[in-house]
Amino acid sequence: MTDPADFDIEQSSRAIAGGELSPAELTAACFERIEELESTIKAFVTVDDQGARAQALRLTEELSRSGPRSPLHGIPVGIKDLVDVEGLPTTASSRVLEGGEVASSDAPVVAALRAAGAVIAGKTNTQEFAYGVVSAPTRNPWDTDRIPGGSSGGTAAAIAAGMTLGGIGTDTAGSIRIPASLCGVCGLKPRPDVISVEGIIPLSPSLDACGPLARTVADLRVLFEAIGGGPLSPPDPRRLRIAVPESSEVAGAIPEVARAVEVAVATLADAGLGRVTVDLQSFAAWDRPRSIPLMIEALEVHRSSGWYPQRADRYSDETLASLRYAERFTAEQVEANREPLAALVADLRAVFDRADVLALPTTQTTAPTVDETTARDDGHRTPVVRSLTRLCGPVNVSRLAAVSVPCGFDDLGLPIGLQLVGRDEASLLAVAELYQSATDWHTRRPGSKQHTV
């Protein structure tokens, strides 16, 4: 019999509604996977075995009385450790908040998931305060010598490994999409203000977004609607236009990634989408302009919270260096940055005068090794951070939505992500679902035989 921990949400929901699987059985299967793999993957900060099993038992009993609450009835999910879950500590995976109080209430996104019948398996690991892309000590289920990406790395790794069927992440410069890409799952970054960020520790308030990760786009839709993004009215994707940069050098991806994305775009064009080419500035031009507001806002968050500099000795070296680096910026530098950043935003948003969706790689490379993430350039960030956020960060600054879906594997069998960017979530999910209806990359699991593009 197939292990229920390998099901996606849609499959599990059908089995639960049909009486073939109970919430208690599905939760038990996921916790068996956690017990088997957590010592290697390290996806969780807090595993709520007792609470989740009790919740699943109540949902099983409720099912026999009144049927499922929603397609999420009995579905185990992981919650990024920036997000409050009643009765569990919120630590932001940092010693700064170690030993702090447990959350007295659920964040609205968690409350919405509970109301829909989801089972909260625990708090998943994040890069400290979401400020980076490594998510140590979490490892990538496809190759445990490699990072899962960040900052929602624990959520993505847990889903890829079958520990949960879905989860919640946050995204300030790619923190949902990057780990989705590197771990071979799907992730949606909604537009800002679509999903509540109340009860979530901020990184950069003007750029932060909260969204779902899951194995399929159909599952993203279910989660997104449950946490406040729906109901959606998707358009016919075959009536939409997909844009690609005129030159592949704009994205700067390695050849294997660029090739996989080009094949994915061709698949969508064959399915009926109109294809247009657009002239964009190199995404490398965004690196400094988009980073300055993020760093300034992050510094203010940590100062106003009383964490920095009062608890400077408790931060990781990387986060502390970033906060100290942000102190160097003068008011004149911040003001001088506004005009070039506004020009870049206008350039990117102009794409959608001609097209509905922009296709890009999610990341320029596949998952780096843990060792590759230790290099430093200017003393406060690694080159890996710049590379992995380069194609994602501009989306947040431009207040657009984006989804990442698996679109192939490199020669080492590591997942590659296709990023679709647009002005609304309904169109993106419709195009992404059309893509998944024509391909099977999203069905692959770590440890199974893979095929390169």
Determine, yes or no, domain membership for 448: no
Q: What is the mean pLDDT of residues 234-263?
A: 96
Q: pLDDT by residue (tens digit) across 249-283? A: 999 999 999 999 999 999 999 999 999 999 999 99
Determine, yes or no, domain membership for 16: yes
For the chain, percent of residues with pLDDT exceeding 70:
97
Whole-number mean pLDDT of the chain?
A: 95
Q: Which domain holds residue 20?
A: 4-443
For the chain, percent of residues with pLDDT exceeding 90:
94
pLDDT band at residue 99 under the 50/70/90 scheme: confident
pLDDT band at residue 2 under the 50/70/90 scheme: confident
Q: Kindly tell me if the per-residue pLDDT of 449 is higher than 50.
A: no
- The enclosing domain of 184 has a CATH number of 3.90.1300.10
What pLDDT is attached to residue 377? 61
What pLDDT is attached to residue 447? 80
Q: pLDDT by residue (tens digit) across 295-349? A: 999 999 999 999 999 999 999 999 999 999 999 999 999 999 999 999 999 999 9
Q: pLDDT by residue (tens digit) across 406-418? A: 999 999 999 999 9
Determine, yes or no, domain membership for 11: yes
What pLDDT is attached to residue 378? 57
Q: pLDDT by residue (tens digit) across 23-71? A: 999 999 999 999 999 999 999 999 999 999 999 999 999 999 999 999 9
Adjacency order of strands within the sheet including 119-124: 44-47, 119-124, 76-80, 166-171, 209-214, 186-189, 401-409, 415-422, 357-361, 241-245, 274-278
Question: Structure pTM?
Answer: 0.96
Determine, yes or no, domain membership for 451: no
Q: Kindly tell me if the per-residue pLDDT of 382 is higher than 60.
A: yes
Q: What is the mean pLDDT of residues 77-104?
A: 96
| Residues with a known catalytic role | 80, 151, 175
Q: How many domains does the chain have?
A: 1
